[in-house]
Structure 1
Amino acid sequence: MAGAPDKADTAFRTIGELSRETGLPQHILRYWETRFPQLRPLQRAGKRRYYRPGDVALVRRIDALLNREGYTIKGVQQLLATKGAAPVTPAPGADGAARLRTIRDALAEALRRDAI
């Protein structure tokens, strides 16, 4: 993450603060609001956004699913619709990079066998 949060975990965050904490650009956060109906920060005068702790957790979950687990926007939408906003706990050792290495190694082995 970009840095240590300046606020308590229970404090509301502006879009700029959330952007700095997560390393996600502000335009991505605004785009996700249009794609994920579960993500609805409070909006005050001047359309200023305030993300509640639940919104922050949801942003982190969406980020993990899209950018680390390899889900598509549509896949995350379906996952959130069927399982709600509760966090999905991955199986032990089910990190995305390890799965990709396993697939890569299997493909390399298959290509090597075909070349013989």
Structure 2
Amino acid sequence: MAYKEKEIEKLYYSIGEVAEIFNVAPSLIRFWETEFDVIKPKKNRKGNRQFTREDIDNVRTIYHLVKEKGFTLQGAKEMLRNDNQSVRDKMELLDSLKNVRNFLVELREKLH
């Protein structure tokens, strides 16, 4: 039986890492932090932001609403206020479907 290393997941991510995940500027993440109260990164002694997995999920939701769906900031705020769980469920479903699609595309490429 082969030994399989556990993948180590980070507890905290820097603002640069979060910005890179979404391919946006760190200034946009800082701006969203001031606009949306669901993004609350911890700050270390130096004042550097430390984003948790939950913070990244909140940024993902805001990114989806604003950048992909075209909501205004006010519209995104209202959507989060009124039906945050529904938005998250839809996003999880979209992520799952994207993973399935990527898997099928890779499988098709291996067969040809």
Q: Residues 13-60 of structure 1, C-alpha deviation per residue, up to 9 Å, x if partnerless?
A: 010111112111100000001100111001111210010101001111
Cα offset, 1:88, TM superposition: 4.8
Cα offset, 1:11, TM superposition: 2.6
**Aligned match of 1:109:** none
User: With structure 2 as the length reference, what TM-score do the two structures score?
Assistant: 0.67
Q: Secondary structure of the equivalent of 1:13?
A: coil
Q: Secondary structure of the equivalent of 2:63?
A: helix
Specify the code of the residue in structure 2 equivalent to 1:70: G
Give the whole-Å Cα distance in 1 for the aligned partners of 2:71 and 2:89. 13
Give the whole-Å Cα distance in 2 for the aligned partners of 1:88 and 1:66. 17
Give the whole-Å Cα distance in 1 for the aligned partners of 2:83 and 2:45. 33
Aligned residues: 85
Structure 2 residue ranges without an equivalent (≥5) = 1-7, 94-112
Structure 1 residue ranges without an equivalent (≥5) = 1-6, 93-116
Is 1:33 the counterpart of 2:30 in the alignment?
A: no
Specify the code of the residue in structure 2 equivalent to 1:50: Q
Q: Residues 42-82 of structure 1, C-alpha deviation per residue, up to 9 Å, x if partnerless?
A: 11112100101010011111111101111110001111111
Specify the code of the residue in structure 2 equivalent to 1:69: K
4+ residue stretches of structure 1 with deviation over 4 A?
none
Identity within the alignment, %: 23
Q: Residues 74-102 of structure 1, C-alpha deviation per residue, up to 9 Å, x if partnerless?
A: 00111111123661517x9xxxxxxxxxx
